[in-house]
Chain A
């Protein structure tokens, strides 16, 4: 799967997408879901919770691993992906679409700019493979 050009990334494999209403949708990358394997559980952040960039806000769990999801931006959770409760595999099948984790109203727009773009993120992934 090619990394969507419009998204921003953390080195720790989370993505962020700024929506037209100014909110930011977050999720984990295709590379991350692939490394984890079949997901069996996702703990999404509660609506209304205040997140800090770089701090764990969700947990994704497969049979053999569990991994914290770090929030790419600071702000308040305005929506979370309820469908992941029953179908965590959405992250495996559609990590950048139906497998989104939460939507955040960012409190500091400058944070987005500091994230990696798709090209830089692909380089991080390539470097890890060595």
Chain B
């Protein structure tokens, strides 16, 4: 299946603009005017609708396929969340409209702050960061601001485990900090001795995910918190894996001082083909004054935005208005539909599904990277053995899974496990779906023995076959030019 570029459907003079009135722009000096029209398609409305509908059909998505992308929590995005967040009154609200005209909207955000604070065990929540990476930025910036406010200017080092997601070190750099990496032990836990060696008067904080990106719970977290706190540093919780522990154990109770939550993971807001995300941050008492603004406050029964006047030590604004407000409404609706008991069910069934899938894959001859550990909501299979024995890679497995109608798990992350697949089924998948995935993995493993080329050249049934990444990077073709038609 192939769909032409929208520009190839375009014909000069064709319009779909009946809904727009013609008008004349006056008072614009000739020197400031545009002389040549931009390259925008000239198509009928039907042509546009058909083109983009066809494009959509070239995608895998949660709504169409099992999508066990580790670390991404691809759970069902309830349709009610979208429909209700898109009520016309919410959509037409200007962000600078007076608070008096938005009490319903602000009330939802205020209650969301409260609920998120409670499920994470923190003291305050700011909803403004627009994705996980921006939540991380807010967190590290707050840690820096905290030390600076105390005159402790030497604290510029952020400790990061070697298995961390790339955004952790990149964020520390953006905050003007220096990154210190510590290794993981063979059993997946943090190397406590290494941690003890690197903490000191330069330690600003540590960034951790728990369960870690290795798919296992960091059992000695209380000890880690003690070591970092005793050294004068603070603990940052990367909420990428919050789905694993929701309602079971709270980051605040583990000793974390600041946390970001990926509302597009744990709280089921859509991933949208690469965003919008939402990276709300929660903070302990020490960091309350530094939260990014705006925050929703309540006086009497009136809600209003809290700004720099209310939080003069805030790290400031990270977005033009109020983060990804519409995403926040979706998360609010989701949490209200789940309720208190539903929060706990999320982690219970996500963990059940992951451990079931792991048990079945192990029985089918696959190697778990941490075989003596309990899986959290996700786990790692390493194909190192198959790679050596059969000459097939994790990438080959991933691509062949697409032919079986499954989105591939995360591949080659975390970086320190060779030939790995990071698999996260989420709680919203039925047992039949997990069983079908296992059957596909078994079939591919058998095929790897009999016809490995079938794997090397996969996928075979998708709109395109394996793409030439080297050519893409070397012969950059980033925009269409009319001459290429």
Contacts and interface: CB of A to CB of B under 8 A. Distances in A.
Contacts of B412: 64
A40 B412 CA distance: 20
Contacts of A110: none
B162 to A, nearest CB: 16
Nearest to B471: A40
A102 to B, nearest CB: 21
Interface string A47-86: 0000000000000011110000000000000000000000
Contacts of B472: 63
Contacts of A63: 469-470, 472-473
B39 to A, nearest CB: 27
Contacts of B470: 38, 40, 62-63
A31 B473 CA distance: 22
B94 interface: no
B34 interface: no
A38 B412 CA distance: 18
A40 B471 CA distance: 8
Name the residue in A38, A61, A62, A88 with the highest tally of chain B Cβ atoms < 10 Å from its Cβ.
Answer: A38
Nearest to B472: A63
Chain A, interface residues (CB within 8 Å), range: under 10
A88 B476 CA distance: 14
Contacts of A40: 470, 473-474
Contacts of B469: 63
Contacts of A41: 473-474
Interface in B427-485: 469-470, 472-474
A73 B286 CA distance: 48
A101 B469 CA distance: 24
A68 to B, nearest CB: 14
A61 B474 CA distance: 10
Interface in B14-60: none
B169 to A, nearest CB: 14
A105 B412 CA distance: 41
Interface string A83-127: 000001000000000000000000000000000000000000000
A88 B472 CA distance: 14
A96 B472 CA distance: 26
Contacts of A38: 470
B477 to A, nearest CB: 13
Nearest to A89: B474
B53 to A, nearest CB: 32
Contacts of B474: 40-41, 88
A120 to B, nearest CB: 26
A62 to B, nearest CB: 8
A63 B472 CA distance: 9
Interface in B276-310: none
A62 B469 CA distance: 10
Contacts of A88: 474
B416 to A, nearest CB: 15
Name the residue in B412, B472, B473 with the highest tally of chain A Cβ atoms < 10 Å from its Cβ.
Answer: B473
Nearest to A37: B470
A88 B474 CA distance: 9
Nearest to B412: A64
B417 to A, nearest CB: 16
Name the residue in B469, B472, B474 with the highest tally of chain A Cβ atoms < 10 Å from its Cβ.
Answer: B474
A63 to B, nearest CB: 4
Contacts of B473: 40-41, 61, 63
Contacts of A61: 473
A43 to B, nearest CB: 14
Nearest to A38: B470
B88 to A, nearest CB: 46
A63 B470 CA distance: 6
A41 B472 CA distance: 12
A64 B394 CA distance: 14
A117 to B, nearest CB: 31
B63 to A, nearest CB: 30
A79 to B, nearest CB: 24
Nearest to B475: A40
B476 to A, nearest CB: 9
B414 to A, nearest CB: 15
A56 to B, nearest CB: 15
Interface of A: 38, 40-41, 61-64, 88
Ranked 6 nearest A-B pairs via Cβ: A40-B473, A63-B469, A38-B470, A40-B474, A63-B473, A63-B470
Interface of B: 412, 469-470, 472-474
14 contacts: A38-B470, A40-B470, A40-B473, A40-B474, A41-B473, A41-B474, A61-B473, A62-B470, A63-B469, A63-B470, A63-B472, A63-B473, A64-B412, A88-B474
Given A63-B472, A88-B474, 12 more contacts: A38-B470, A40-B470, A40-B473, A40-B474, A41-B473, A41-B474, A61-B473, A62-B470, A63-B469, A63-B470, A63-B473, A64-B412
